[in-house]
């Protein structure tokens, strides 16, 4: 069964959310007061339905949001008052899962108190990501798995070429778990043979503490 998502605000963040959801076969409805943003999203074919609407208008929002939505994204974080009002309206409409974009932690705390299930800080996350990539140039992609652990996609260090995972013994030496090996043809081996030797173009998908990644660079 397809999941139904509501995205309010089609700025860069909201548009990215809508596009990703739609690409993964979810049903997406978007709301924005900017007609141009709505037209652009529809022309790009990244959602099922879009409505030009001021979502801070409680009555107008209730008239449109009649179906059951599994989750709503409020991506109007730059307008603090609007994000608070919209979150309140969605809570009253019975939407249980509301993810809100915020520009600072004070706004985030307010949104959580009035009903936001989760608050995200895209600018902060992007800044952290860029700084981390500068510190660790061999890391292609990563995300925070928990407070202490990261899942990272890293390039094979030269010293690892033609060595096997068994020889490297990263789990024992550094408490680094190899989740998969990604080959140059794009194929992902999620059950890598510990005896197969790594090639220069292979990538490792690893689970490790943040302070241990630098040890294998």
Tell me the CA distances in angstroms from 205 to 97, 128, 190, one per residue in order: 30, 20, 9
Query: What tens digit of pLDDT does each residue of 36-53 get?
Result: 999 999 999 988 899 999
Under a CB-based contact definition with an 8 Å cutoff, are residues 181 and 209 in contact? no
How far is residue 110's CA from residue 113's CA, in Å, rounded to a whole number? Answer: 5
Query: What tens digit of pLDDT does each residue of 63-94 get?
Result: 988 767 889 999 997 889 999 999 999 999 99
Under a CB-based contact definition with an 8 Å cutoff, are residues 53 and 61 in contact? yes
128 pLDDT band (50/70/90 cuts)? low
Under a CB-based contact definition with an 8 Å cutoff, are residues 114 and 88 in contact? yes
């Amino acid at each position: 069964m397809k999941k139904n998502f509501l995205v309010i605000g089609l700025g860069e963040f909201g548009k990215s959310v809508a596009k990703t959801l739609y690409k993964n076969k979810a049903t997406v409805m978007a709301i924005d007061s900017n007609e141009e943003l709505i037209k652009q999203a529809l022309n790009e074919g990244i959602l099922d339905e879009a409505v030009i609407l001021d979502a801070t208008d409680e009555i107008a929002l209730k008239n449109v949001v009649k179906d059951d939505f599994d989750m709503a994204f409020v991506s109007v974080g730059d307008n603090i008052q609007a994000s608070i009002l919209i979150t309140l309206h969605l809570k009253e409409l019975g939407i249980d899962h509301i993810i809100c974009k915020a520009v600072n932690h004070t706004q985030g705390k307010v949104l959580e108190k009035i009903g936001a299930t989760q608050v995200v800080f895209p600018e902060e996350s992007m800044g952290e990501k860029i700084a981390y990539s500068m510190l660790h140039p061999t890391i292609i992609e990563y995300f925070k798995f928990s407070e202490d652990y990261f899942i990272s996609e890293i390039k094979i260090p030269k010293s690892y070429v033609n060595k096997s995972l068994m020889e490297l013994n990263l789990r024992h030496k550094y408490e680094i778990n190899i989740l998969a090996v990604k080959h140059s043809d794009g194929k992902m081996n999620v059950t890598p043979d510990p005896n197969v030797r790594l090639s220069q173009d292979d990538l490792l998908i690893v689970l490790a503490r943040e302070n241990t990644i630098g040890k294998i660079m």
